[in-house]
Amino acid sequence: MTVVDCTAFAGDLRALAASLPRVPRADLYTFLEAAKTAATGLPAGLASALDSFNTGGNQDGYLLLRGLPVEEDDALPTTPNSTPAPVDRPLLVMEAMLGAVGRRLGLHTGYQELRAGTVYHDVYPSPNAHYLSSETSEVLLEFHTEMTYHTLQPNYVLLACSRADHERTAATLVASIRKALPLLTADERARLYDRRMPCSVDVAFRGGVPDPGAIARVKPLYGDPDDPFLGYDRELLTPDDPEDAKAVDALSKALDQVTEAVHLTPGDVLIVDNFRTTHARTPFSPRWDGRDRWLHRVYIRTDRNGQLSGGERAGDVVSFTPRG
């Protein structure tokens, strides 16, 4: 199942949101513990879909929750134009949904070097944003597996929509390795499997150095050879061997062929399996009128893939160690 219609659960989910602490950033650990309790009371149909996805994923590599409760547009604050969000900002309904849904899946995690180490991120267009940043709007944000160069990369990326772009043209693109793998030859798979390739890192993780080069090493395919994980970034993965480059190019073309477009609308939560997919975002045109596209993002780690060692809490902030 890729899309879960949550319209019938709206009343119960509004009540759930109302039960959570009103100012989540004032004490995020307490908020996320309350969200964990709330997650045990999610409607059965939604809980079952989340548990199934968390156990084995699916072919598409994502789960879209549609029809969740959300404020009417005129009841929302203006779309932010700076980050991080004020500590005293009251809880928004979509932030509550990210709390409960995320805790059903695992542990919310912040990254020390990213967004001042905050756990909840506002995603909005910003003038003159770096081309690798989620704050871009009028250029394509290229395919990337989120933080594929980080030893503690998140298992899931969750995107919740409070406000869509005006023309509703912006699409989140998702490409799954489970669908792309059959398009690769046996030789291409063998070249990509368990082979470390040079990879640069996003600006936030460069330690103030404009271009530190490829400081990480990433395996494009790894894990079970018949059902591998994906490590991919179209801008940052830079194989230096010609045969490696050819294989990565074949992988890129295969991923393009299986890409799905998801147009997020208010009340949507998109859960991206960050170990089996790569995702991107198409361009859109902001109006800079206080009502531009506004998403909320959290990263979730689980006890799979070595992302947890024991003793972690939802809301922890981790520091950067590049894959090598």
Q: Which two tokens stand for residue 23?
A: 């100012």
pLDDT digits 0-9 by tens, 235-270: 999 999 999 999 999 999 999 999 999 999 999 999
Q: Helix, strand, or coil here: 299?
A: strand
- Residue in the structure block whose two tokens are 């709390």: 99
What gap in Å lies between CA 198 and CA 240, rounded to an integer? Answer: 7
Question: How wide is the angle at C-alpha 297 spanned by C-alphas 177 and 86, nearest 5°?
Answer: 165
User: What is the DSSP annotation of 25-43?
Assistant: GGSHHHHHHHHHHHHTTS-
Each residue's pLDDT tens digit, 9-63: 999 999 999 999 999 999 999 999 999 999 999 999 999 999 999 999 999 999 9
Distance of alpha carbon 96 from alpha carbon 302, whole angstroms: 20
Nearest of 124, 119, 71, 64 to residue 94 by alpha carbon: 71
Cα separation, 107 vs 70, whole angstroms? 23
Q: Could you write out the DSSP letters of every residue in 196-262?
A: -EEE---GGGSTT-S-----EEE-SEEEETTEEEE--BTTTB---SHHHHHHHHHHHHHHHHT-EEE
Q: Which two tokens stand for residue 120?
A: 């909840």
CB 125 within 8 A of CB 137: yes
> Does this model's pTM top 0.75?
yes
CA–CA distance from 302 to each of 45, 104, 293 (Å)? 22, 10, 29
Which residues face 277 on adjacent strands? 176
Rounded to whole angstroms, the maximal C-alpha distance in the chain is: 57
- The count of other CB atoms within 10 Å of the CB of residue 48 is 13
At 176-217, the pLDDT tens digits run: 999 999 999 999 999 999 999 999 999 999 999 999 999 999
Q: Residue 1 in contact with residue 52, Cβ under 8 Å?
A: yes
Q: Are strands 3-5 and 62-66 parallel, antiparallel or unpaired?
A: parallel
pLDDT one-digit tens code per residue, 64-110: 999 999 999 999 999 999 999 999 999 999 999 999 999 999 999 99
